[in-house]
Amino acid sequence: MVRIIWQNRILSLILFIVLIIFFSCQSDKKLLNNPSSQKPETEFVNNLMERMTLEEKIGQLNLYTAGGDVTGPTMNGNYIAKVKAGRVGAVFNALSVSFNKELQRMAVEETRLGIPLLFGYDVIHGYRTIFPIPLAESCSWNLELMEKTAALAAEEAASAGINWTFSPMLDISRDPRWGRVAEGSGEDPFLCSMIARTRVKGYQGEDPESPQTILACVKHFAAYGAPVAGRDYATVDMSERMFRDVYLPPYQAAIEAGASTVMTAFNEFDGVPATANSYLLDSILRKEWGFDGFVVTDFNSIKELNNHGFSENDEMAAILSLNAGVDMDMQSDIYAANLMNLVKSNRIEEKKIDEAVRRILIMKYRLGLFRDPYLYLDEEREKATIYSNKILNHALASALESIVLLRNENYGGGKILPLSKGIKNLAIIGPMGKNKLDMLGCWHAAGDERKVTNLFEGIQEQVSQLNILYSLGCDFEGEDISGFSHAVKTAQQADVVILAMGENDAQNGEAASRSQIGFPGVQSRLIAEIRKTGKPTVLLVMAGRPIILNDEEQQIPAIINTWHLGTQGGRAIAQVLFGDYNPSGKLTMTIPRNEGQIPVFYSQKNTGRPYNPKDRFTTKYLDIPNEPLFPFGFGLSYTQFDYSSLQLSDSIISPQEELVVKVMVRNSGKISGEEVVQLYVRDLVGSVTRPIKELKGFRKILLEPGEIRWVSFTLKSDDLRFYNREMKFVAEPGAFMVYAGTNSAECLSAKFNLIP
């Protein structure tokens, strides 16, 4: 009898313990998914972390790719099992609400603590609706337009279950051989910094818990846009001064705008790979700038520390990256495979893991995912948002403002552009003529080429009575010229010829550096053959980078740089060709005469022997001019803008005073048009040498025919600061030149002095 009583007591005790464990787990999940609104994020996350095992913590540090897209060299087929085991913090390339909802269900309902996943994707210039590539859109110089583009891209992506984009890319680049210039905003740190703030604000909005906004990710930190020889992933080597003056400002601007995450670069900086560089990730990013978000690597880059020769094995790579400040490992599996043993063997402190986990969980909290893990997962919202008219209309507006008119000479008694809608026969020749896929450009996310309006269709819509002839002529690659004869015959039958030339979507972007950046394949040869027909010809440059146009600029009377404009590209180009929209874009990257001028940028220094055509022993080339083919800030219009009367409010200012710069701009043409008025400054003498011009302001204005407007800028001493000889960020007293004009090469000038 006593034995039975004791057995019953033991069974009761076991049952009691099981019930405690069960209800404790359910309580944990309830707490996670329904946190008290009174609890601040830190208290909530600390409470959660007290319940987490070391294995669960390490799980939050891993980001794996799903199969929705291919954005890197490897795929982890076991990622679903890892999600169910609570060993994944985020998933990328997982597309659509239905797919992501199931992954989130696994994370929330099948793991002990039910911590929700983040869903990331390369929403670089749109999700389904594809906007112009970022380099193209930067040529609009319209910050409001760019912010709206980012906001609408976020809205569309968020509707499909994405809550994190690996954008904006803020890498300054002065080398168009580098394929990823397509993803950036050009060569100038001032303009790129303005765009950085704008895009972060667009993606993240005012309310982080809104299901229409997503987390931004600043990339690639840092100086990824300056690889040796323009070759992607190559070494970066520069002075600290160059780094801080030119390459660092856009990243800092994005952090100041509230960017939530940062991605490490593939390159090294000062001999240390960025993924293990504590100077970048801790000293600058966190201590100097106060960044409180989390840091994620680029694809597999912890593993690649071994290739750099910076770590001898995966364990060392994990130690170096975590200690440097990397919170989340994208795809390499190094953290998942090594951190547990490294903690147990006392080679990594668990508190370093805690710091990384805390930063990641706080971002999930700020997104509202602990309140509602399915916040972004609404099928009805997805259906209503994807390719909505609101988004498509803005894609057209963005494409229109991104187009840059490079050349428009007289032909047959007048300018060749805009084309008359009265012409009867128009020939479209070239590989971009009926092309849909390559209109989208590189990194076109989940864009559907079937939704694209190509050039042929755009013109057909614009001028319905027009007889449009078409010939492919040649492809983007290879030496096949068998299509030339048909192309020439097509041109001969036309009143006007449109040459649709450029790059396909794989000839720029990541891993797409080119040593020669003219038109690939035999396109230049085809252009020369068409010119022999003597027909009025317009060349469309449809590419993801500046293209060498030295020969074409001498042969073709009208050249338009359309870039890759996305889903609505064909409609935008057609409106510009026929004058329904007056082009207003201005280059944000200099276009060189040939590759020998690279790196090429407007803000060069004067040197001790500045160019003098009468003196052999000055800085110059023997075979070409120093000047590029088209300078930074260049772009024509169908009207004419005249600049006059540059005025300064004073010739001397103190550090506490402001200088007002005014210039008169007149539309002397016959149609209305937009002009980007640009302001540049030069510090004539400094404790270290300064560039011959630096952009310090711009205004985009609309002027009616004959309208005159005074355009004003305000300069403060803060606008004149730079890193002096002691690497202090100061404005030095002395003489300055100020320039205002239509581009960096054509400006009015005046002089002023900053006194102590």
- Residue 503 vs residues 33, 171, 298: alpha-carbon distances, Å: 48, 22, 26
C-alpha–C-alpha distance, residues 124 and 131, integer Å: 9
C-alpha–C-alpha distance, residues 578 and 602, integer Å: 32
- Hey, what amino acid is at 473? G
Residue 523 tokens read as: 């396109």
Q: Is 218 helix (H, G, I), strand (E, B) or coil?
A: strand
Q: How long is the chain?
A: 756
8 A C-beta contact, residue 451 and residue 387: yes
CB count, 10 Å around CB of 288? 11
C-alpha–C-alpha distance, residues 297 and 318, integer Å: 12
Helix 569-577 vs helix 455-462: crossing angle, to nearest 10: 50
8 A C-beta contact, residue 333 and residue 305: no
8 A C-beta contact, residue 359 and residue 215: no
8 A C-beta contact, residue 590 and residue 630: yes
CB count, 10 Å around CB of 213? 23
Residue 152 tokens read as: 């609408």
Q: For 341, how many CA atoms within 13 A lie in the half-sphere containing its CB?
A: 9
**Secondary structure element (H or E) that encloses residue 204, with its range:** helix 189-204
Q: Which of 28, 122, 245, 298 is catalytic?
A: 298
3-state SS string for 383-397: HHHCCCHHHHHHHHH
Determine whether 298 is an active site residue: yes
Q: Of 117, 113, 110, give the one whose Cα is nearest residue 56.
A: 113
Q: Of 751, 559, 745, 752, give the one whose Cα is nearest residue 643.
A: 745
DSSP 42: H
CB count, 10 Å around CB of 745? 17
CA 412 from chain centre, in angstroms, equals: 41
Residue 122 tokens read as: 């390369």
- Residue 21 vs residues 25, 42, 234: alpha-carbon distances, Å: 6, 26, 53
Q: What are phi and psi of 2, to 5 degrees?
A: -60, -40
* Cβ-Cβ contacts under 8 Å for 179 (sequence gap 6 or more): 232, 442, 507, 508, 509, 510, 511, 512, 513, 514, 544, 545
Helix 484-492 vs helix 523-531: crossing angle, to nearest 10: 30
Q: What are phi and psi of 594, to 5 degrees?
A: -155, 175
Q: Of 475, 478, 477, give the one whose Cα is nearest residue 487.
A: 475
For residue 223, is it left (φ>0), alpha (ψ between -120 and 50) or beta? left
For residue 468, is it left (φ>0), alpha (ψ between -120 and 50) or beta? beta
For 17-128, list the strands marked E by DSSP. Answer: 62-65, 90-92, 118-121
Q: Give alpha helix (H) positions in 312-385.
A: 314-324, 334-344, 350-366, 379-385
C-alpha–C-alpha distance, residues 460 and 473, integer Å: 20
Q: How buried is 149 (Cβ within 10 angstroms: 0-12 exposed, 13-18 middle, 19+ buried)?
A: buried
- Residue 264 vs residues 146, 259, 322, 414, 511: alpha-carbon distances, Å: 24, 14, 12, 52, 17
**Secondary structure element (H or E) that encloses residue 46, with its range:** helix 41-51
Prior bond to 599 cis, omega within 30? yes
Instruction: Return the active site residues.
Output: 298
